[in-house]
Structure 1
């Protein structure tokens, strides 16, 4: 979106209309207009549901944005999501010294999930991959951190050479020979990632300071998730999610990091707080459930290394600076690019001081970040499609009958939606931020982690149940239908069948539901898929 378009949007009234379920709808909240629609048509409730079904469905502001007078802030915030950052072009300055992508759009093509890639190239729009490098025990390599950075601004060098990352897509045959009892066949593929010699800058160092040989390191891909509906998920009361753990923990094995499967109770930290919480807020975002609130978003800092008032340091492991300080290519040019850091005349010492500084100049204005957060929390969720059809109703019934709804819990109700910001930028009643109080929403997730035991699974194997809402529009909005954490599933059927694995260490927690799915007729399986693609 260019600046001319932004100014035009800011100046015009927001009066969007769209067609869905063969009827024309607008954003005016009038329950009489929707009296013949089932409640699950309103995926995000009245305040969060977007009725425009088109290639830009993932980009639309929730009705709450306009109602709460935040349309202009939303539009300006969207600009920061879309626009590439540079080293010195204001207001998009501050890129580097290391970074993952120049813009958020590089990862989140069409505002959605990342796209399956044949090679690792961070300049490709849609490559939402990060390299997850761990030791043999699945512990993240300390010197690379949680997000390995394949790009750098001179004189620094990236943590790895993207051209020396090899991604091979291999065929996988499951225990049923990739065939249903009625003869229908399907295909499954998975990625194998190899780092060629010379790929790593420096060394792989674990948390104890020991070198991890490349031959013993595990390398996996994790792709970007979508932004749609994040603010609505944020508004779900923590106690309701804790109750979901208590309910599932009675009969299922949950991640022992959060749940004591022997005592049937939450794991507690040394200070008595729950391990499933961060700052008193329950984890509910990302595959690894390592983010508790939308307001804990560290975008620009952990992706482009752009500093803000609350992040005035680099999101780069301290080990990297040791490597850089010993690199003559870096030390010989450091003062040329960063003359203000000529503190001692010894570039090696000054590089380490620069890399570990916690008082770096602020590169992104607070007001710009506030607008971005309005956008992040304000992106709506597209309404469900085909809800008035018999196929939708039958598919929904089958979805529940075979067990999918056990983990993909259909609905939740938001609470008062008091803003909770672990960094203290916003108060609970802050009117600068979009809110969604008392909305019945339909994300189709329990926000709990389970294991599928897939071939070359993600780190630890524990993965949050992905919300299904809006996924059926991904091809329309983002140009692909890839699913799962590394985009191995090329369509909905493949995503379903990856839930039925028997792998190293155990069998999928969803195996029983997949056995039920296999026993459906082909027509019934298609009804389930059509339902999933409609919600």
Structure 2
């Protein structure tokens, strides 16, 4: 953080604090089996595929590049809007490390606690994070975020509220003189393979024809001694969530809210026709089965049910992140990450991503106090006394104190509004790679089987974007800073934009998980060096991902996964080749 004119303010705070205290967060990767596409077919209707399916992001959102740099490309909409320079500049903020101090001022502001130094650390090759066998923020491509929560209904429950002692995206790094909220050497990660049959009765190791596969899952524990907080949390459990691919998110933002509502209604009707309870298929926190409408009330003026309150008070339905906690890309995971991952402030978020428990522990740590005392230039030095330094640390690190609420207006934002705009041009401007091998008979067979066994029920192929009436924060709108738009595009993301439950072993926190888009995932290996799938990278390929859908008798996708399990090998291979082509 940059601090301006805080010394006089803090000395005054110390005096107040003293008075008060005296009293009392083929080939891997979809490469064609013949080495490259038969370009004579690209852009033409072939058996089972429309012309538009070659271009899953539409004519404004697809790149023709299908090489190892495909995920990095800008959309045609960027070029048409003359935003290429801004896009390239925004790319810098994604790829480069933020530092506490830097010769490049635009990349200053790291910490005081942080998750990673650079966004690309979690998104290797701009794609899905890689599976790792340890939690270490220096491991390039480790996209893992810790989810630390109080489990309900038993110690192994996936459900329960986040602990309050650390941030929702827990930080394992800090700049000197501070200690990280969670020490990485106290985090233990183990991977275990399933044996025998899964609870659904389906084999965890082989298909009926004898072909083998292996399903592994993570167990993560954190020692109480790893927490540099006061208090130290108790009764907690840990799950992993890995970052998802970034490309195409601008197109998902352009899908009309009414179209998503129609999808909820379609699936509610199907559930009723199958004799299921709608609330077992659609998250009742988002969908009111009785009213056949969104859960919650947008007129309340606060986040509730399916509704999210954007910064200017606009209410929109949630659609982003695994847990669907955000309603706009411009106030979604990427926009938030540019603030809370490196803890870099900006004019609309000129406060730290920290917790009271960490601020308290740092203000009480004698080593922290001693290091600050040895450096009179520190913004935490205050009057140089132990009490004065402790009060400054508590005041400036704790976002909940009245003193902080008064003091943080003296912080100079570390990311300029223009730089944030450039970053959002880049984020909203990442293209979807063109489809491959759609002329291949095996791929065509794979699509047919994918639809026949029911995968498309959740992994819905086709959507239409609307007028793209995107929401933008005031730091962009007040300066008339534009972003790329994707109005009236036919797109093929292969997601229903809804949540379902798979009930996997050591599954996802909250149980409900948004259906992950499948477009472009066949190029993961050539772009990122890995093919890891699902929310915690437990699936190392398509087969494992599909079979995890069959783990539980309660899985929303068991019926389709069971059909896949009983397919002949040729059809299973066809489905995989199809998935690597779209």
Normalised to the residue count of structure 1, the TM-score between the two structures is 0.89
Out of 175, 178, 182, which is 2:209 matched to?
A: 182
Whether 1:34 aligns to 2:43 is yes
Out of 348, 353, 363, which is 2:395 matched to?
A: 353
User: Does the 8 Å contact 2:87/2:425 carry over to 1?
Assistant: yes
Query: Alpha carbons of 1:338 and 1:226: their partners in 2 closer, same or farther (altered >3 Å)?
Result: farther
Whether 1:133 aligns to 2:175 is no
Whether 1:234 aligns to 2:260 is no
**Partner Cα separation in structure 2 for residue 494 and residue 93 of structure 1:** 41
Out of 287, 292, 311, which is 2:327 matched to?
A: 292
User: Does the 8 Å contact 2:296/2:307 carry over to 1?
Assistant: no
**Long gaps (5+) in structure 2:** 1-34, 153-159, 272-277, 310-314
User: Does the 8 Å contact 1:418/1:429 carry over to 2?
Assistant: no
- Answer 1 or 2: higher relative contact order, Cα 8 Å, separation at least 6: 2
User: Does the 8 Å contact 1:452/1:501 carry over to 2?
Assistant: yes
CA RMSD of aligned residues (A): 2.1
**Long gaps (5+) in structure 1:** 1-18, 26-32, 206-211
Specify the alignment match of 1:146 in structure 2: 168
**Partner Cα separation in structure 2 for residue 237 and residue 438 of structure 1:** 10
Query: Alpha carbons of 1:429 and 1:530: their partners in 2 closer, same or farther (altered >3 Å)?
Result: farther
**Partner Cα separation in structure 2 for residue 269 and residue 104 of structure 1:** 35
Q: Displacement of 1:263 after TM fit?
A: 4.8
Specify the alignment match of 1:106 in structure 2: 121
Query: Alpha carbons of 1:428 and 1:187: their partners in 2 closer, same or farther (altered >3 Å)?
Result: farther
**Partner Cα separation in structure 1 for residue 126 and residue 246 of structure 2:** 6
Out of 258, 268, 280, which is 1:249 matched to?
A: 268
Specify the alignment match of 1:57 in structure 2: 70
Out of 550, 553, 574, which is 1:527 matched to?
A: 574
Report the 3-state secondary structure (helix = DSSP H, G, I; strand = E; otherwise coil) of the residue aligned with 2:238. strand
Q: Displacement of 1:78 after TM fit?
A: 0.4
User: Does the 8 Å contact 2:43/2:54 carry over to 1?
Assistant: no
Q: Displacement of 1:486 after TM fit?
A: 0.6
Query: Alpha carbons of 1:204 and 1:523: their partners in 2 closer, same or farther (altered >3 Å)?
Result: farther
Report the 3-state secondary structure (helix = DSSP H, G, I; strand = E; otherwise coil) of the residue aligned with 2:177. coil
**Partner Cα separation in structure 2 for residue 312 and residue 156 of structure 1:** 20
**Partner Cα separation in structure 1 for residue 211 and residue 480 of structure 2:** 55
User: Does the 8 Å contact 1:420/1:427 carry over to 2?
Assistant: no
Query: Alpha carbons of 1:104 and 1:446: their partners in 2 closer, same or farther (altered >3 Å)?
Result: same
Query: Alpha carbons of 1:236 and 1:429: their partners in 2 closer, same or farther (altered >3 Å)?
Result: farther
Q: Displacement of 1:54 after TM fit?
A: 0.6
Report the 3-state secondary structure (helix = DSSP H, G, I; strand = E; otherwise coil) of the residue aligned with 1:352. helix
User: Does the 8 Å contact 1:99/1:152 carry over to 2?
Assistant: yes
**Partner Cα separation in structure 2 for residue 239 and residue 334 of structure 1:** 55
Report the 3-state secondary structure (helix = DSSP H, G, I; strand = E; otherwise coil) of the residue aligned with 1:349. helix
Q: Displacement of 1:384 after TM fit?
A: 0.9
**Count of residue correspondences:** 498
Whether 1:47 aligns to 2:60 is yes
Q: Displacement of 1:144 after TM fit?
A: 1.3
**Partner Cα separation in structure 1 for residue 43 and residue 477 of structure 2:** 35
User: Does the 8 Å contact 2:149/2:238 carry over to 1?
Assistant: yes
Whether 1:191 aligns to 2:218 is yes
1:377-396 equivalence runs, <5 A: 377-396=428-447
1:175-324 equivalence runs, <5 A: 175-177=201-203, 178-196=205-223, 198-203=225-230, 212-213=233-234, 216-250=235-269, 251=271, 252=278, 253-269=281-297, 271-272=299-300, 275-279=305-309, 280-296=315-331, 297-324=335-362
Query: Alpha carbons of 1:379 and 1:93: their partners in 2 closer, same or farther (altered >3 Å)?
Result: same
Report the 3-state secondary structure (helix = DSSP H, G, I; strand = E; otherwise coil) of the residue aligned with 1:281. strand
Report the 3-state secondary structure (helix = DSSP H, G, I; strand = E; otherwise coil) of the residue aligned with 2:337. coil
User: Does the 8 Å contact 2:221/2:237 carry over to 1?
Assistant: no
User: Does the 8 Å contact 1:20/1:53 carry over to 2?
Assistant: no
**Partner Cα separation in structure 2 for residue 270 and residue 72 of structure 1:** 38
Query: Alpha carbons of 1:429 and 1:230: their partners in 2 closer, same or farther (altered >3 Å)?
Result: farther
**Partner Cα separation in structure 2 for residue 59 and residue 189 of structure 1:** 30
Query: Alpha carbons of 1:407 and 1:36: their partners in 2 closer, same or farther (altered >3 Å)?
Result: closer
User: Does the 8 Å contact 1:74/1:374 carry over to 2?
Assistant: yes
1:404-419 equivalence runs, <5 A: 404-419=455-470
Q: Displacement of 1:183 after TM fit?
A: 1.8
**Partner Cα separation in structure 1 for residue 149 and residue 44 of structure 2:** 53
Whether 1:23 aligns to 2:42 is no
Out of 154, 160, 164, which is 2:186 matched to?
A: 164
**Partner Cα separation in structure 2 for residue 160 and residue 340 of structure 1:** 24
Q: Displacement of 1:255 after TM fit?
A: 1.4
Give CA deviations for 1:329-370 in whole Å, capped at 9, x if unaligned.
222333637634445651222112112333222111111111
